[in-house]
Amino acid sequence: MIEKTIFVLESVYREPLEVKAFCFGDMSRKTICIMGAMRGNEIQQMYVCARLVQELKKLEINGQIVKNTGIMVIPCANYHSMNIGKRFWAMDNTDINRMFPGYNLGETTQRIADGIFTEIQGFEYGIQLASFYQSGRFLTHIKQMVTEFTDDDGLVDFGLPYALKRTPKPYDTTTLNYNWQLWNTKAYSLFTHSTDDMKEDSADNAVNAILRFMKNRGIINYSIHPGYVTSVINESDMLQVHSPCGGICKIKTKIGDTVERGQVVAEILNPLTCEVLAEIKAPEKSTVFFHFESPLIVEGTVIFKLIKNDIIRGD
Amino acid sequence: MIKTVSQAGLAVNEKLKIQKNSIKNGNSQKRVCIVTGTHGDELEGQYICYALGKYLEKNTDKLNGTVDIYPALNPLGIDSIMRGIPGYDLDMNRTFPGTESGTMPEMIAHEILEDIEGADICIDIHASNIFLREIPQIRMSVPTSETLLPYAKMLNVDFVWVHASATVLESTLAHSLNSAGTKTLVVEMGVGMRITKEYCLQLMDGILNLLVNLEMLTDVEIPKIREPIVSLDGAVGFINSPAAGIFVPEISFGSTVEKGDIIGKIVNPLTGSTAENAVAPCSGLLFTLREYPVVYGGSLIARILRQEDNNND
């Protein structure tokens, strides 16, 4: 393993931000890059990468990294925000993952994005440990933006139950995933259960999914359970259930559960009297893919994302 | 008349309401919308909404048409000094056109857009953020400039910046409205979290001038309207901080600078040293200047409108 500093940013009163990369195998070949936390609350994303560093160290020592392949892991690109409990850039609240491909003469986060992207472009595969802006729990899944450069063959090689395809919106065009694809990297975003807190079982799933992908793509020699037959789903085909009012949110199901049409899956309570303001019912027989997780909810918030059972298919 | 454009129930005993003051008189169907407060830390538009509302209520008899004033598209952000939408950490000006079936911010964006659509002109007033001070200016993309430039010239601003299109800006209110055929001009002026009364009154004269030109306002005296400098991207020089430190300006905002002039110093208070000088890359008008002193490498210090490229077309 080689530890490398890929970008340095000076600060007037803090130690410089040094973005560290951990490299394995033959780094004259840019085979796969795994990107962890770019936001200060992406603790789970950093943890998954850190766990992966440990696994790859062992594989390298045992000679299980295939000849002529190079692997780079960047666990955390933004610990200046992480160390002070902020999600976005410490000073100006901008999002590094909305600054790609970056600009070396531009604003600070554009320079960070440029510094990172200069190092991580040109890889054959790119995996970003991603997070959602809203509080909640997801089934661990892989997502890919559909662009003219998309190669979705790899989606099933992670062996996760679900893979999502997303049609990018204008605001997606400055993300790492989108720009990786523009620069010919086959890019995937891996979502785990959580963001701000560490979930060991979900981290296990994510680490195994990445190792499985590497095995299936001929990057490592590794014995691992083949995983699930992946259902590939268009994000737009999922059912979104909104909260009809604000109040205390009580979720009555878990991610991964199958719910029946009409089943009460959550209640919204009056926060001052505990009177039930609304019962949230499943609109179809479906699998709970995402649920909101916070004691208080605002009207119109997406409280559930459900996958209708009749669209689940192997791909 | 105060109307609610969009609303959503918050968690505890409160509704989020987006409201407008709709001032109407006469039989003209013409409508102008004044919109501000999308970013909760941009307050320059607050004074304009107040002043315009007060003026029109006093001079309703001179109005023929409707002026809709939306002072706070992001009321929770304004209340809590947050640029984005509290609870979501989303930039509201990246959520348009929104959708009926989306999250709460997307639904609100959709309803706001529906309410404004169809107006003859919309003016979307932004201050700068807390970091930069700007002279009163209008920004527009190249594809919209042919339609919007004649109206921009009525608004009494100093500068019109015609910039290249960027896909990411397709999520803005202005882009969504212009795409839907509602002519929308974006004003940038002043600085975040403050009100610069002089600039507000300057733009207020411009808005009244626009209403006169649209034949929505009669029998009013408008001061002489200034002719803005109209400029393309290439005519703007950027100065980004060459080092981390504390920026101390050496030159007045809005002044004309020569190439090589020191705009300011990046100093280190711990060591008592100057880390770097911020130097003008070209001669011209200093139309943006950093207001917030703490900088990282790359923080925007200033923008200069190149003298040699200016045109007053």
A226 and A242 share a domain? Answer: no
Do B178 and B140 share a structural domain?
yes
**Residue B32 sits in which domain range?**
2-227
Lowest mean pLDDT among A12-26, B48-62, B95-109: B95-109
- Does one domain contain both A227 and A296? no
Residue B169's pLDDT band, with cuts at 50, 70 and 90, is confident
Residues B177 and B37 in one domain: yes
pLDDT of residue A149: 67
From A204, A233, A262, give the residue that closes a domain.
A233
One domain, residues A20 and A37: yes
How many independent structural domains does chain B possess? Answer: 2
The minimal CB distance from B296 to the residues A11, A297, A301 is found for A11
Q: What is the pLDDT of residue A305?
A: 95
Considering only CA atoms, give the Rg of chain B. Answer: 20
Band the pLDDT of B191: cuts 50, 70, 90: very high
Residue whose C-alpha is closest to residue A47's, from A161, A215, A196: A196
What is the band of B290 on the pLDDT scale with cuts at 50, 70, 90?
A: very high
Do the beta carbons of residue A67 and residue A19 sit within 8 Å? Answer: no
How close is the nearest chain B Cα to the Cα of A241, in Å?
A: 9
Using a CB–CB cutoff of 8 Å, tell me whether B245 touches chain A.
yes
**DSSP of chain B, one letter per residue?**
-EEEEEEEE-SSS-EEEEEEEEEEESS---EEEEEE-SSTT--HHHHHHHHHHHHHHHTGGGB-EEEEEE--SSHHHHHHT-SSBTTTTB-GGGSTT--TTS-HHHHHHHHHHHHHTT-SEEEEEEE--SSEEEEEEEEEEHHHHHHHHHHHTTS--SEEEEE---GGGGGSHHHHHHHTT--EEEEEEE-TT---HHHHHHHHHHHHHHHHHTTSB-S---PPPPPPEEEEGGGEEEEE-SSSEEEEE-S-TT-EE-TT-EEEEEEETTTTEEEEEEE-SSSEEEEEEE-S-EE-TT-EEEEEEETTT-B--
Q: Does A236 touch chain B (CB under 8 A)?
A: no
The reply to whether B252 and B142 lie within a common domain is no
Asked if A192 and A257 sit in the same domain, the reply is: no
Do residues A151 and A281 share a domain? Answer: no
CATH value at residue A26: 3.40.630.10
Contacts of B170 in chain A (CB under 8 A): 170
Q: Clarify whether residues A182 and A60 are in a common domain.
A: yes
Is pLDDT of A151 > 80? no
Which of A 27-66 lie inside 8 A of B, CB atoms?
none
Q: What is the mean pLDDT of residues B190-194?
A: 96
Asked if the structure places residue B188 within a domain, the reply is yes
Q: Are A219 and A74 found together in one domain? A: yes
A87 touches B: beta carbon within 8 Å: yes
What mean pLDDT is predicted for residues B156-179? 90
| A147 contacts on B by Cβ (under 8 Å) | none
Whether residue B298 and residue A111 make contact (CB cut-off 8 A), yes or no, is yes
Cβ–Cβ gap A12/B246 under 8 Å:
yes
Q: pLDDT tens for residues A223-248?
A: 999 999 999 999 889 999 999 999 99
Last residue of a domain, one of B227, B249, B284: B227
Among the candidates B196, B227, B258, a domain finishes at B227
Same domain, A217 and A276: no
Q: For the purposes of burial, counting CB atoms within 10 Å of the CB of A200, is it exposed (0-12), middle (13-18) or buried (19 or more)?
A: exposed
Domain containing residue B291: CATH number: 2.40.50.100
Q: Say if residue A38 is in the same domain as residue A126.
A: yes
Q: What is the pLDDT confidence band of residue A133, given thresholds at 50, 70 and 90? A: confident
Give yes or no: residues B101 and B248 share one domain.
Answer: no
Share of chain A above pLDDT 70, in %: 97
Is B311 within the bounds of a domain? no
pLDDT of the residue at B312 = 43
- The predicted pLDDT at position A215 comes to 97
pLDDT of residue B222 exceeding 50, the answer is yes
Residue B313 lies in a domain: no
Judgement on whether residues B256 and B285 belong to the same structural domain of the protein? yes
Whether residue B311 has pLDDT greater than 60: no
Domain match, A122 and A48 both: yes
Are B222 and B249 part of one and the same domain? no
Per-residue model confidence (pLDDT) at position A311: 65
Chain B CB within 8 Å of residue A248 CB: yes
pLDDT at B310 over 80: no
Look at residue B312 and tell me if it is in a domain: no
Same domain for B264 and B121? no
The chain-wide mean pLDDT, for chain A, equals 93
User: Which residue, of B201, B227, B253, is where some domain finishes?
Assistant: B227
pLDDT at position B241 over 70: yes
Domain shared by B199 and B256, yes or no: no
Sheet holding B245-249, edge to edge: B273-279, B262-268, B245-249, B294-295
A315 pLDDT higher than 50: no
pLDDT-above-90 percentage for chain A: 84
Tell me, yes or no, if B10 comes closer than 8 A to chain A by beta carbon: yes
What pLDDT, on the 0 to 100 scale, is given for residue A288? 97
Query: Residues 32-91, chain B: which have Cβ within 8 Å of A?
Result: 83-84, 87-90
pLDDT level of residue A310 (50, 70, 90 thresholds): confident
For residue B286, is it within any domain?
Answer: yes
- Least confident interval from A83-87, A213-217, B25-29, B48-52: A83-87
pLDDT at site B313: 39
Looking at the fold, whether B246 and B103 belong to one and the same domain comes out as no
Q: Shortest CB distance from B9 goes to which of A92, A109, A298?
A: A298
Q: What is the pLDDT of residues B84-134, one digit of tens each?
A: 999 887 899 999 999 988 888 999 999 999 999 999 999 999 998 899 999
Tell me: do A46 and A126 sit in the same domain: yes
CA distance A52 to chain B (A): 30
- Tens of pLDDT, residue by residue over A95-128, are 999 999 999 999 999 999 999 999 999 999 999 9
B66 found inside a domain: yes
CATH at A249: 2.40.50.100
Give the model's pLDDT for residue A314.
43
Both B204 and B238 in one domain: the answer is no
Q: Which domain holds residue A218?
A: 2-233
> Which of A209, A233, A257 corresponds to the end of one domain?
A233
Q: Cβ contact (<8 Å) for A245 and B9?
A: yes
The distance of A231 to chain B (nearest Cα, Å) reads 24
How many interface pairs between A and B have CB atoms less than 8 angstroms apart?
104
CB within 8 Å of chain B, chain A residues 148-177: 169-171, 173-174
User: How close A292 comes to chain B (CA, Å)?
Assistant: 12
Shared-domain flag, residues A204 and A279? no
B223 and B244, same domain (yes or no): no
Question: Percentage of chain B with pLDDT > 70?
Answer: 98
Residue ending a domain, among A233, A261, A291, is A233
Q: pLDDT value at position B5?
A: 98
Q: What is the mean pLDDT of chain B?
A: 94
In chain A, the number of structural domains is 2
CATH number at residue B206: 3.40.630.10
| Per-residue pLDDT at A129 | 96
Pair B125, B156 in one domain? yes
